[in-house]
Structure 1
Amino acid sequence: MNILVIKSSVFGDNGNSSSLVNTRLEQLKSQYPEATVVVRDLAAEPIPHLDSERVGAFFTAAEERSAGQQQIDDFSMALIDELKTADRIVLGLPMYNFGIPSQLKSWIDHVARAGITFRYTENGPEGLVEDKPVTVLAARGGLYAGTGNDTVTPYIRMFFAFIGITSLDFVYAEGLNMSEVKEKAMREAEALLRAS
């Protein structure tokens, strides 16, 4: 069992989504004590945002790459290898200003690679990553699930489906900036995790 953990809170382990990730991870470790766990903390080890240099490296043929371009490609391929070899993924997903954290977008930009994690066919795009369970632990300051203001859930579903992963399970902790709601929301989210 290989478990890939992705934390995307700017607050690291102090973030609400990271707290839920840690709860889920402890569960999985007790279920699978021999599991190999890879933790990708995107705040502690930020992934560079895409720029012309990085995109240029991706689109340069391997035999024509400079040493610097090869290093960029190697980094991207290491992230893709973590994704492909994982049997399960646990994703901590805060909502910032109605979107995903920019550091998570950088991870997505490095793993969404044509011909590697997806390809275009006559019938449209086809994912090249084997389906696997993904637990998405979504923490939000307000109440957005099931409303038009939740841009995060459909985006994450669409991205993972695009590369071939459709087995997503969302657990929401909402209203976390509403003091009377926060403790109840975190308790309910943790109870859902324990029941799963």
Structure 2
Amino acid sequence: MTKTLLHIDASALADRSVSRQISARIVEHLAPAEVIRRDLSDPLPILTQDWIGANFTPADQRSDAHKAQLALSDSLLDEVERAEVIVIGTPMYNFAVPANLKAWLDQIARAGRSFRYTESGPEGLLTGKRVIIAIATGGTAIGSDHDFASGYLRFMLGFLGLTDVSFVTADQLGTPAETKLEAAQAQIARLAA
């Protein structure tokens, strides 16, 4: 049984969001002991010059202002580090991930904390976790030439050490949505708890 699960939703829609519905079903199916909830409909700040300056200042030399700049990022990374499983519900907006999900990834991609550079190249530090991504699209097929979301997510999460990534998809919902939702439910049923 999963002990701690981080549940992230990125859709700007509330009750009508297919990705939110699917991610909620995944969490219910896995029945974790604890759920950490992160709703990105309240957008995170984008990276600024001050944030970057604070991030690249060695930890033992950071001022109180630096620490304040990184406080949210530290909190987001704490959530990821605590979780055994991460469930991300996201739509595809304009062929890619929503800006709020990109902002979350920017906040957690920190050299020395979530990855490090070695002589043989970058090494992800957020290892040993399972990631399940519920992704919904209006007209774009997942894995098609126009899908710039799933490949980006797989690469970016892998860069951080999160390599056990699977997708539950409800794509091309512009076509008969009921069939797509039934297919997504079947994918959830096949997930090992």
Cα shift at 1:194: 2.0
Name the aligned partner's letter for residue 105 of structure 1: K
* CA RMSD of superposed structures (Å): 1.5
Cα shift at 1:77: 0.9
Change in Cα spacing, 1:128 to 1:11, as seen in structure 2 (3 Å) is: same
Q: Greater CA deviation, 55-64 or 162-171?
A: 55-64
Match of 2:29 among 27, 34, 37: 27
Q: Distance in 1 between matches of 2:117 and 2:15?
A: 38
Cα shift at 1:130: 1.7
Q: Greater CA deviation, 153-162 or 139-148?
A: 139-148
- Unpaired segments of 5 or more residues in structure 2? none
- Tell me, yes or no, if the aligned pair for 1:12 and 1:41 is still in contact at 8 Å: no
Q: Aligned ranges for residues 109-188 of structure 1 at < 5 Å?
A: 109-178=106-175, 181-188=176-183
Higher-helix-fraction structure:
1
- Tell me, yes or no, if the aligned pair for 2:43 and 2:100 is still in contact at 8 Å: yes
Cα shift at 1:151: 1.3
Q: Distance in 2 between matches of 1:77 and 1:120?
A: 20
Cα shift at 1:13: 4.3
Deviation string 1:77-118 (CA, Å, 9 cap, x unpaired) is 111111111000101121100110000011000100001110
Q: Is 1:42 aligned to 2:40, yes or no?
A: yes
Question: Percent identity of the aligned residues?
Answer: 39
Q: TM-score, normalised by structure 2?
A: 0.91
Quote the residue 1:71 is aligned against: 68
- Tell me, yes or no, if the aligned pair for 1:84 and 1:130 is still in contact at 8 Å: no
Aligned pair count? Answer: 189
Q: TM-score, normalised by structure 1?
A: 0.90
